[in-house]
Amino acid sequence: MKIKVNLFLFSLILLFIACGCDGSSDEFEQVGYYKKKLINGSNDRVFSFFIKNFSDDATTWNKIEKFSKSQMYTSGGCTTVFFFNNRNYTPDVTFVAEQFDEKYDYYCVAAYWKYPSGIEKFSKYPFR
């Protein structure tokens, strides 16, 4: 029994490494999520995330963009993802969607949009 458990854990670790998982999801804390059902059956979604240990470098920007693209998207809908570098200034967008207070703007370090057409836009410091 012990051998089976150890073999299972070893297999999971190998799978994690083989997938190229970099643990980046641990760096992002979801604070808010808004979803609106549209007439066409698709959904608009807005996410807000706090980025732990944010640094303005190429590696971090790549992780943010990759993580953005992994968020839920429904064809015909719009997905918007906001990233903030201060936990106390990360808005909960659950009830306000993109209409959060301006006091959060300075702390928004990145935003990502995927539009109904499928076009994607990634912006660093979108409110500065």
Domain ranges of the chain: 21-124
Task: Output the pTM of the full model.
Answer: 0.78
Say whether 106 sits in a helix, a strand or coil: helix
Q: Is the pLDDT of residue 54 over 70?
A: yes
Average the pLDDT over 3-32 and give the result. Answer: 55
Average the pLDDT over 51-69 and give the result. Answer: 95
Residue 97, classified by CB atoms within 10 Å of its CB into exposed (0-12), middle (13-18) or buried (19+), is middle
79-119 pLDDT per residue, tens: 999 999 999 999 999 999 899 999 999 999 999 999 999 99
What φ, ψ does residue 56 adopt, rounded to 5°? -85, 80
CA gap 99, 6 in Å, rounded: 50
What pairs with residue 32 in β-bridges? 48
Q: Scanning the structure block, which residue is given the tokens 């549209």? A: 38
Question: How high is the mean pLDDT of the chain?
Answer: 84
The amino acid that residue 94 corresponds to is T
The pLDDT score that the predictor gives to residue 1 is 54
